[in-house]
Amino acid sequence: MKVYLVRHALAVDQFVFKGDDERRPLTEKGKTQAQGLVALLDNIKFRSLLSSPALRCIETLEPLAKYKGAKIDIQPLLGLSAQPDDTLGYLVTLKHNVVACSHGENILGILEFLFSQKVAGVDKVRARKGSVWLLEIENHTVISATYISPPY
C-alpha cells in the first residue's frame, strides 16, 4: 500500500492573515504549486484523497481532485492538532493507496520518527511546501519512503 503524503502548498502568512488559522488560504504561488501536483501525481493510482480540515490543505488537493474526478475526504488526524505518531498510526492502517495532505509540523514529526527507525529512503528530514513523501507500507509498517520534490 502507498501513501502519497503531501505538505500543503504556500499559504498566506499566518502573521498577516486575520481570522481562524484553519481558514487560511493559499497564496497565488501556492495555487500554482497545487496545480503542479496534478502533473507530479498524474500517473499514480489511488482510491482516496484525504486532507487536514485546514483550508490550505483542501485547496492544495483541489486541482488534483478536479483532474481525477475524485472527492476530498476530511481527516482530522491530518490536522494541525494531530500528533505525528497518531497520524502515522492512522496512515499505516489504510487498506488502499491514498494521497493525504497535512502540515509541515506533522510531516516533519513523522519523518523524524522514520529517520530514527532507519527506514529506507529517509536520509534526511525535509518537506518543502508542495512536496510529497511516498510511503510504502506493509503489515502496518513503513518499509520505505521516497521524497518527491515539488514541481516548481
Q: Divide the 152 residues of the chain into consecutive groups of 10 and give the mean pLDDT of each group.
A: 97 87 92 95 94 98 97 97 96 97 96 95 90 97 95 72
For residues 12 and 55, what is the distance between their CA atoms, to the nearest angstrom? 11
Query: What's the gap between Cα 116 and its chain centre?
Result: 20
Task: Give the separation between CA 106 and CA 81, rounded to whole angstroms.
Answer: 9
pLDDT at 126: 87
Phi (first) and psi of residue 65, to 5 degrees: -60, -45
For the beta carbon of residue 65, count every other beta carbon within 10 angstroms. Answer: 16
Residue reference for cell 509541515 = 104
* Pure H helices in the chain: 28-40, 55-68, 84-91, 104-116
Q: Give the pLDDT confidence score for residue 19 in this predicted structure.
A: 84
> What domains are defined for the chain?
2-148 (3.40.50.1240)
Distance CA 95, CA 141 (A): 12
Whole-number pLDDT of residue 15: 87
